[in-house]
Each structure stands twice: as C-alpha cells, then as structure tokens.
Copies of this chain bind each other. A is one copy, B any other.
Amino acid sequence: MAVRAVVLLSGGLDSATTLAWARREGFECYALSVDYGQRHGVELAAARRLAAALGARDHKIFKLDLTLFGGSALTDDAIDVPTAGVKTGIPVTYVPARNTILLALALGWAEVLGARHVFIGANAIDFSGYPDCRPEYLRAFEAMANLATRAAVEGRGIGIRAPLIDLAKARIVQLALELGVDVAGTVSCYQPDEMGRACGVCDACRIRRDGFEKSGIPDVTRYRAQ
C-alpha cells in the first residue's frame, strides 16, 4: 500500500512543486487548500487544476474566514500589498499564524487518513521573511504535533516535510520543470486579476521573476498590462 501524505497546496509555484516532489517520492498525496479570504481567489482555482494534473488522490478546500481578525495585506482590504520592491524584515503580507493554522488542519486530516507525512512548500532562502517559514519553526511544529494526536500517542508519529526549505528560487523553477509542473498555471502573485494574471511588482512576483532570471529559463508567468 502506498504511503499517504497530506500536501498543503496554495496554487503557487512552491506548493505545486512540493506536491510534484512528494508524488515523485511515491507518496499517495492528499492536497489541502484553505480559502481564508485571501485576495487572490484565482489561486484556489489553480490549486484545483494542479491537484488533478499532479495526481493528488483527493483535494479538499477548507473555508476559514481569516478576515475576521485581519492583520495582513492579504486578509484586510485596508492594508495595501507593497509593490515598491522587496524589503528586509517581515512584510505586511505576513498573515498572522497562517502556517500554524494550515499545518494544524493538515495534521488533523493526516491523522484521519493514517498519513505519516505532511508536506509544506516553505522556503527559507528566497522568501518574504515570514517567521513561519523557518526551519526552527517547522521543527517546533513537528515536536508539538508528535504530542498532539491519538496517532502520536499510539506510536504513529508525523513528519513535517519541507523539501524546498534550502533551495534558491532559481532552483525551484528548474525543479518544477523537471517534475512536470505546469509552471504557467501556478499563481504566486499576491494580487492577480480575475484571469490569474500577475501584477509583476509585488514581492511574490519579484522573487519569482528573479528566480526565472537566475535560472536562465524564460519566464512563462502571465503578466497583466501595467
């Protein structure tokens, strides 16, 4: 029987590549997305297509309205997405406790499925400075998860896997293509239009575009006219 894994899938490049990686490793993959009120609902449509194309066994989208507390440019319309260039520090696109919430849901589903692995596309190299993308955070989540569940108590622990954690964005672009990801169909932009076309100037767009440039691969991203 194939070993099961839950894979967090946002519809962006990193999570799609992570799903493709887990599939190549032979896992039976269960993709999990969260409609948390992010501005970019077209990401979820992309997630749906990617889950099917990459052979996820199932794909669930949880609705959870994080605009109830806001606190991020992605969950509060009163906060603009920065477009002037990537700064150091934690940007306003950071969503409070987002990865903790996503991983908690994945942990619950993993327990029900009997899955021993949760995959997340977190990356600590060419990333936006989010605290919940750091390896030490992921290790602490794993330690907590291994005390949290019936499965853990009964000796069936869980591993939190972030295969992209140490990769530069350029390497992720190459890897995505090697693994057959429909890169043009992924949506990384924080404020895509309703066609899924990228703005080209938010941090996510800049980091992604820089990755293409450094990889020497032509940028297949669909940008809208500025």
A-to-B contact residues, CB < 8 Å: 60, 62-66, 68-71, 90, 94-101, 103-105, 107-109, 111-113, 131-132, 134, 136-137, 140-141, 143-145, 147-150, 152-153
- Are B112 and A107 neighbours in the complex by a CB distance under 8 Å? no
**B147 contacts A137, C-beta separation under 8 Å:** yes
Complex: how many Å from CA A134 to CA B152? 13
Residues of B within 8 A of A141 (CB): 144, 148
Which of B62, B94, B136 has a CB less than 8 Å from the CB of A64?
A: B62
Q: Which residues of B contact A97 (CB under 8 A)?
A: 104-105, 107-108, 111, 148-149
A62 touches B65 (CB 8 A): yes
| Cβ contact within 8 Å between A70 and B112 | yes
Determine the chain B residues whose CB is within 8 A of the CB of A70 once the complex forms: 112
The secondary structure that dominates the A interface is: helix
Considering the chains assembled together, what is the distance between the CA atoms of A148 and B132 in angstroms? 5
B64, A64: Cβ atoms closer than 8 Å: yes
| Chain B residue with the shortest CB-CB distance to A135 | B147
Task: Indicate how many identical chains form the complex.
Answer: 2
Q: Report the separation of the CA atoms of residues A150 and B144 in the bound assembly, to the nearest whole angstrom.
A: 19
Contact A131 B148 (CB under 8 A): yes
Cβ-defined contact, A90 with B144, below 8 A: no
Chain B residue at minimal CB-CB distance from A136:
B147
Separation of A111 and B152 alpha carbons in the complex (Å): 29
A144 touches B100 (CB 8 A): yes
**A99: B residues at CB distance < 8 A:** 148
**Contact partner, A140, options B96, B104, B143, Cβ 8 Å:** B143
Q: 14 more A-B contacts (CB under 8 A) besides A94-B150, A101-B104, A131-B152?
A: A66-B108, A69-B108, A69-B113, A96-B107, A96-B111, A96-B112, A97-B107, A101-B101, A131-B149, A132-B149, A140-B140, A140-B144, A141-B144, A143-B144
CB–CB A112/B153 < 8 A: no
Ordered nearest first, which 10 A-B pairs have the shortest CB separation?
A: A97-B108, A71-B112, A140-B144, A96-B111, A96-B108, A137-B147, A100-B104, A104-B104, A101-B104, A97-B107
A198 smallest CB distance to B (angstroms): 25
